[in-house]
Amino acid sequence: MPPRHGYQKPTNPVKALARVFSYMKGSKWLLLVVAFCLIISSTAGIIGTYMLKPLINDHIVPFIGQNDPNLSGLLQALTFLGIVYLSGVVAGYVVNRLMVTISNSSLNAIRRDLFNKMQDLPISYFDTHTHGELMSRYTNDVDVVREMISSGLTNIITSSVTVVGTFVMMLIISPILTLLIVAMLFVIFYIIKTIGGRSARAFKRQQAAVGAVNGYIEEMIEGQKVVKVFCHEDEAKERFDLLNEEMRQAATSANTSANILMPIMNNISYFNYAITAAAGAVMAINGMLDIGSIASFLQYTRSFSQPITQISQQFNNIFAALAGAERIFALIDAPKEQDDGYVTLVNAKKDENGNLIETNERTGIWAWKHPHHDGTLTYTEVKGDVVFEDMTFGYVPNKTVLHNLSLYAKPGQKIAFVGSTGAGKTTITNLLNRFYELDSGKIRYDGINIQKIRKDDLRRSMAMVLQDTHLFTGTVMENIRYGRLDATDEEVIAAAKLANAHGFIMHLPQGYNTVLTSDGANLSQGQRQLLAIARAAVADPPVLILDEATSSIDTRTESLINKGMDQLMAGRTVFVIAHRLSTVRNANAIMVLEQGRIIERGDHDQLIAKGGKYYQLYTGMLELD
């Protein structure tokens, strides 16, 4: 069987293999049983073949010409031979069954480590790695590792034991005939090296071609509307035909090289068998070898070359698997998101003196629990007082996105950010969530530097409604409850009503129990956005971030949710990023950004009176790009 993924060299195969074995440490006793059964399975075939010699010499040849031979000895020998082969079959079954258990347990642990690490990675990691690249770790790379664990390693061991055992037995039977086999072995190695190398290179080209075709298909599926709008169906077909033809040629070349190896090896094996039989016959005629030895040796000859070919092919597959394992471990070993915060978010209530005290009950009052170096502990009520002090930031070195930016939001204020794409609007909210760290400057939240606040607690104090709404597979109720997992059904429904989503939800087939799949494909974009707003509402945070939250909602739907949004925003600090300037008219302050700097600030009336960039945008003299 040709290697499925081509030949890829791992950087450090020994280290990668040891890392894979570390996932099997919980199955060490099963591995000992597997090793024992592998030896039995391989040895059974070697012993069974050797038993042909006494079977023919002692129980068949002596009966030639006898009228009434005693077959009891023959039956005993056949019974013993049957027991040997049966033990090999049972041992082989045990190996396969246990390796299924071991491989699935190991892959379960690998996938768990992959997924757990993915949850701990910083947002910047996903900015530099595509979704397809990450998914290939869970699919292609895990699959080749599974093949290596379940069959590749056992086949290598079995074939190696078979080759060594067979060679030793051939030497015992006839050193002269063994020399003939060794000579033929050099021919076999040369063919494997030549054709195997060609096959490996061809499979690399095939994999590249498969990637190009799959990428193009995925691109066309996602952009099908654009293709049809611009009537580019024929051009799309022509481009696909070119890529598909390149893949056909690469696949034909790869599989031709791979599939030709076994027929060549088989024919060499037959040729070798014929030469060995002829040489053995000459030796038997001259009294140098008995018939039983010839029969055993010929059987060994047939079973000698095949394991060598299998070892070569399995090594290709194992190296491909180890290369895949290295990619998996590279993700598992990627630096996780650092969090040195120590200020935490707790439920609080006020005692009879008006002082905040920590409580396990959900009171609607939140407090920052702040331990100090002198051992004291203070509680600061979460109000949503946010101050940005002289912020400078760039996603990559030498490319600054925000330049010495300062602003503030008092509790309950609505702050709007307006500007063209790339002006830095979303970057500000990313920094507030500590998805990225500032190059310089500070962000204070209720007077506390956010770098002192534990990231989970910081993000729990805020809710975000993004332009691109993501819904999970599950019911409508579960998707809204994602904002706060301990929310009751009544609280979920109240949040939906607040976002004016309750009406359309009740018209769904099963209402709140309607199952959403494929990112809510059975809902309109506006309905999905309403669910995202309801999700934020049920979280009930002191700070709310709306990143183009109503950009995908039509004017009528927008008017429906404005009342609910006003209720949602009441008493909260709200940061709004909007292209529709009509949605920010009632903001307490509007920040007009350009190339990472605030060029105008003020409320709607002030900015209109100023007649600057905001005025031009609002009156349509300029457009947001």
Strand arrangement of the beta sheet that strand 448-449 belongs to:
402-409, 386-393, 440-445, 448-449
Q: Which two tokens stand for residue 498?
A: 């607040």
Q: Which two tokens stand for residue 537?
A: 């509402």
The amino acid that residue 44 corresponds to is: A
Q: What was the pLDDT predicted at 111?
A: 92
d(CA 283, CA 164): 25
The kind and range of the H/E element at 448 are strand 448-449
pLDDT tens digits, residue range 415-472? 999 888 778 888 898 899 998 889 999 999 999 999 999 998 998 888 888 777 788 8
Q: What was the pLDDT predicted at 232?
A: 77
The kind and range of the H/E element at 144 are helix 142-147
Q: Which two tokens stand for residue 113?
A: 């480590």
Could you tell me which CATH class the domain 386-618 is placed in?
A: alpha beta
Whether the predicted model's global pTM rises above the 0.85 cut: no
d(CA 341, CA 448): 11
* CATH architecture, range 13-332: Up-down Bundle (1.20)
Supply φ then ψ for residue 529, to 5 degrees.
Answer: -65, -40
d(CA 134, CA 139): 9
Closest CA relative to residue 534, chosen from 487, 575, 583: 487
The kind and range of the H/E element at 440 are strand 440-445
Other C-beta atoms within 10 Å of 117: how many? 16
Helix and strand totals (H; E) in the chain:
23, 16
Closest CA relative to residue 467, chosen from 395, 535, 553: 553
Q: What contacts 335, CB < 8 A, 6 or more positions away? A: 122
The kind and range of the H/E element at 96 are helix 72-120
**Positions of CATH 3.40.50.300 in the chain:** 386-618
Instruction: Calculate the dihedral angle through the C-alpha atoms of 298, 303, 308, 311, rounding to the nearest 10 degrees.
Output: -170
d(CA 117, CA 102): 23
d(CA 340, CA 452): 7
Q: Which two tokens stand for residue 540?
A: 């009930």
Other C-beta atoms within 10 Å of 354: how many? 6
Partners of 391 in the β-ladder: 405
SS3 content of the chain, % helix, strand, coil (to 5): 60, 15, 25
Alpha-helical segments (H) within 356-464: 425-432, 455-460
Q: Please state the separation of Cα 387 from the chain's center in Å.
A: 39
Q: What was the pLDDT predicted at 477?
A: 93
Q: CA of 574: how far to CAs of 383, 548, 590, in Å?
A: 12, 13, 12
Helix 28-50 × helix 72-120 angle, to 10°:
150
Exposed/middle/buried for residue 535 (C-beta within 10 Å: 0-12, 13-18, 19+): buried
**Positions of CATH 1.20.1560.10 in the chain:** 13-332
Other C-beta atoms within 10 Å of 25: how many? 10
d(CA 291, CA 294): 5
pLDDT tens digits, residue range 465-487? 877 778 888 899 999 998 888 88
Percent above pLDDT 70 for the chain:
91
Tally the residues of the chain.
625
Q: What contacts 453, CB < 8 A, 6 or more positions away? A: 341, 343, 344, 345, 368, 445
d(CA 557, CA 527): 9
d(CA 257, CA 191): 11
Q: What was the pLDDT predicted at 562?
A: 64
Q: CA of 185: how far to CAs of 188, 189, 197, 272, 280, in Å?
A: 5, 6, 18, 10, 18
Contact 384, 411 (CB under 8 A): yes
Q: What was the pLDDT predicted at 9?
A: 66
Q: CA of 171: how far to CAs of 165, 282, 333, 531, in Å?
A: 10, 18, 49, 77
**Which residue ranges in the chain fall short of pLDDT 70?**
1-9, 65, 196-197, 200, 204, 207, 211, 225, 229-230, 258, 305, 309, 312-313, 316, 549-568, 620-625
Closest CA relative to residue 341, chosen from 410, 437, 483: 437
Kindly calculate the radius of gyration of the chain based on its CA atoms and give it in whole angstroms.
36
- List the end-to-end C-alpha distance of the chain, in Å, as a whole number: 55
d(CA 306, CA 163): 9
Q: What was the pLDDT predicted at 110?
A: 92
Q: What is the chain's mean pLDDT, rounded?
A: 83
Contact 268, 306 (CB under 8 A): no
606: left (phi over 0), alpha (psi -120 to 50) or beta: alpha
d(CA 329, CA 182): 41
Q: What contacts 575, CB < 8 A, 6 or more positions away? A: 409, 415, 416, 417, 428, 429, 432, 543, 544, 545, 546
Q: What contacts 352, CB < 8 A, 6 or more positions away? A: none
Q: What was the pLDDT predicted at 2?
A: 39
Q: Which two tokens stand for residue 269?
A: 């094996």
Exposed/middle/buried for residue 529 (C-beta within 10 Å: 0-12, 13-18, 19+): buried
d(CA 178, CA 165): 13
3-state secondary structure of 184: helix
